[in-house]
């Protein structure tokens, strides 16, 4: 039975199954490769995963000479940008020696502020500094300039929680002037196809932003949407994008504020992967 999102957007069907028929008993080259890879994975076990995490941490700690700006946006309203901004900024702050600034561009909702258990003017929680901005481009520019002027050599990254959709003025500003764009897509079946349609309607310049300095994040909203998350991964890969999947986490679903120490292990790994990709992009992006 086809997935509901797949029915709504037929051209994102995965490729045909190329497996051998049941009557083919001879082990193929691909079967041998899979068997050897499985044996190697068993022997390496946790050490291989540990080395990968060490590499990700090393990437997160790369030096940044000039402050870099990261915009976190979504094709839909209430798409989870505040949660991803909080996770990303706290993870980066935990790994970096310089200052990471999280920018809440939603004075009314203030969801990012609650996630970080911070209010305007208070100190940093888990290393991430929070600043607030009115939801206009001039106000955001002023806020970013002020944050950097308070410690120009100290600020490494400013992560901006864009309050609207990816077509509003704040998201457009960050796409045009930022060094990295993080696009958040929730795994809810009723909006998965809509998000893909919105991305396919981007102008060539917008698609170039995602391909060259963008990271797609799929957030699993609950355990019943795993099939939608897998379908989204395939659909994005067909478009040349390799998304990061943040699994469902009870602490994220129910916690105000957010405490990174209470996250599930797989969640922490996914967010570390996201943080490393962001730093990898901003350190190769010209200022």
- Tokens matching residue 223: 């355990």
Q: 112-164 pLDDT, tens per residue?
A: 888 887 654 444 456 788 888 999 999 999 999 988 776 545 889 999 999 88
Domain range annotation of the chain: 61-282
Asked if 102 contacts 161 with a C-beta cutoff of 8 angstroms, the reply is yes
Query: What Rg do the C-alpha atoms of the chain give, in angstroms?
Result: 20
Spatial separation of the C-alpha atoms in residues 27 and 20, rounded to whole Å: 10
pTM: 0.81
Architecture of domain 61-282: 3-Layer(aba) Sandwich (3.40)
pLDDT > 60? residue 191: yes
Average pLDDT over residues 253-265: 85
Q: 42-65 pLDDT, tens per residue?
A: 554 556 677 888 999 999 999 998
pLDDT > 80? residue 76: yes
């Amino acid at each position: 039975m086809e997935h509901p999102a797949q029915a709504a957007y037929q051209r994102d069907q995965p490729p045909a199954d190329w497996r051998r028929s049941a009557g083919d008993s001879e082990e193929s080259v691909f079967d041998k490769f899979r068997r050897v890879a499985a044996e190697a994975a068993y022997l390496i076990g946790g050490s291989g995963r540990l080395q990968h995490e060490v590499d990700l941490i090393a990437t997160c700690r790369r030096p940044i000479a000039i402050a870099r700006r990261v915009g976190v946006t979504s094709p839909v309203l209430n798409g989870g940008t505040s949660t991803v901004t909080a996770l990303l900024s706290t993870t980066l702050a935990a790994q970096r020696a310089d200052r990471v600034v999280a920018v809440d561009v939603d004075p009314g909702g203030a969801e990012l502020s609650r996630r970080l258990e911070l209010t305007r003017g208070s100190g940093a929680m888990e290393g991430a500094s929070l600043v607030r901005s009115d939801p206009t481009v001039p106000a955001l520019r002023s806020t970013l300039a002020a944050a950097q002027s308070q410690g120009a050599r100290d600020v490494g990254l400013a992560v901006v929680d864009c309050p609207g959709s990816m077509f509003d003025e704040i998201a457009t500003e960050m796409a045009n002037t930022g060094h990295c764009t993080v696009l958040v897509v929730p795994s809810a079946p009723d909006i998965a196809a809509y998000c893909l349609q919105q991305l396919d309607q981007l102008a060539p310049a917008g698609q170039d932003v995602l391909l060259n300095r963008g990271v797609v994040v799929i957030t699993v909203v609950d355990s019943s949407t795993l099939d939608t998350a897998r379908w989204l991964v395939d659909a994005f890969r067909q478009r040349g994008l390799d998304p990061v999947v943040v699994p469902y986490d009870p602490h994220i679903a129910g916690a105000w504020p957010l405490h990174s120490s209470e996250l599930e292990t797989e969640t922490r790994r996914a967010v570390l992967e996201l943080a490393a990709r962001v730093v990898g992009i901003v350190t190769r992006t010209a200022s």
